[in-house]
Structure 1
Amino acid sequence: MSKWGTIATWRMAHEGVVKASKLLAENGTAGDAVETLINEVEAFPFYKSVGYGGLPNEEGVVEMDAAFMDGDTLAQGAVGGIQNVKHAVSVARALSHQHYNSFRVGEGATKFAMKNGFEMTNMLTDRAKARWQKRLKELQATDKPYDGHDTVGAITLATSGSMAAGTSTSGLFMKKAGRVGDSPLSGSGYYVDSTIGGAAATGLGEDIMKGVLSYEIVRRMGEGETPQDACDHAVYPFIEKLKKRYGKAGEFSLVAMNNQGEWGTATNVEFTFSVATSDELARILMANPGPDHTTVIEPVTQAWLDAYEKRIHAPIE
């Protein structure tokens, strides 16, 4: 049987990974699988950093960034600061079919979505609005406005050997209007080449984009490194470099998969991710930075999962 696989960032991607794995097991395309995976996250209102229910910018507006890449053709589509669109990654995928104008931002991206029949809706839920209003009050007592920046980034490998990558995020909570992070930027937030593999990032976009880390991981896999070695060798030395030369480094977490379905991850924070392949059922794993530029990966505990569910559904007080 031909191999297939998918890997995606954070616990929030797991239900999407399960859906994508079913598609891939039935010889579905890599593009359909990665779009289905991310659509699942975008539509769930309790995930506060992606899509519907995503937290807004400082003006109370939900601005979303997303990207899609075809690993066969290297075609890419992306949107930045798009508004009122239920599935930003689907708009990005549509843009990937265009040779020109394939990366659209702001009003231009939103108009493209409207013109082409994508589902439009008010993306600011009552819950997200309440969280935003609470944060406005908190800002009167602190000068640290930013909080939360979890992107769903995913890689898929189809039985045909084709691969795809996608990202979607509502970005940094309380960001300035028009701010765009690494998620829609080729090579930073994502990269995939079906002859090698793919990688995707989550974390503080302003710092991730300084290292073009998704491309660097794919480049290393292309030179023969395993996905895990490529992640470790790309991420940890760069974090050290950034601390030395820039003075600090934000949160970094990256996942990767090669064209054989082997996978890897590296992170400088506690990081959950979901993975499924033709050899292993969909599961949620926990990664932490280990000694000597390595990554420690363990199964996530039921206690952690229970606490997670309680946290994301907790009332806004």
Structure 2
Amino acid sequence: MARYQQQDKIGEPRVLVVGETLTDILHQHDGTIEERPGGSCANVALTLGRLGRRPQLLTSLGEDQRGLDATAWLQASGVTVHAQRTARTSTATANLDADGAADYEFDIDWSLAVEEVCAIDMLHVGSIAATLQPGADAVTVLVDNCRDKALITFDPNIRPSLVENPDETRQRVLSLVNKVDVVKASDEDIAWLYPGEDMELVAHRWLASGPELVVITSGANGALAMSRSATIRVPAVPTIVVDTVGAGDTFMGTLIDALIAKGAFGSRVSQAISSMGSTEISELIADCARSAAITVSRPGADPPTRAELFEETYRS
């Protein structure tokens, strides 16, 4: 059983990310093979750590070298790791094409048992951890316990190769969408969940079901953001793509950071997001796009620091 304890400074928002940590086994287009720590939720926590948010990550890891490497990788960026121990550290084998796009094959051991979660101001869930049993049920319980008390964000980040029952997975995703404050999905997620449907219509439906903000990313085609008062389209930042590993997770982590900066955490989420106008949301999403562009311009899940994102000039 895992006990989560927050250790942040007084007054600093208490941030918890719950989900998988993996080892990415990268098969490059040139035939070389490289291993790096990763996993969608771990990448989100890493991004928040690089941006100075001191996040906690509740995850599962093997007591093996891969688990030790992943823990050190996260801790180096200011992430506190709470790991339930499993037989092995899960892996994602990524085959990269000539454009740097990744096609994944997974070997996953995901379970989660939570004894107690102390008061938090922000909770992020998503990807494999939100839909793969037996851990998915524990994730749902955490979401239910944090509703109306914290900013809750969700990124479905569907992995079709792990889906055994598509209808059940779709229902679980929709149930979480209905419960969270912010949902970020990719155009690939929408195409899998709702084949042939228009993304903007899906965003409208999701917004009507509960969230305060819905964001759909479309790679080089930019992003769509929709709140109850605004619909915004933001272009992607032109860059030379090395690979796309971690791009969506970097976008998600930067979005969380930006929302916290706007005061959208704790019990004030609805009021804070509803007060944002079109310009404010557009600027927020543009920061996320710039952050993702930095990540894809270098190998692996390597999100920017706050200095790189906001203080230095980024050149594509």
Give the TM-score taking structure 1 as reference length: 0.31
Q: Which structure carries more helix by proportion?
A: 2
Q: Using CA pairs below 8 Å that are at least 6 residues apart, which structure has the higher relative contact order? A: 1
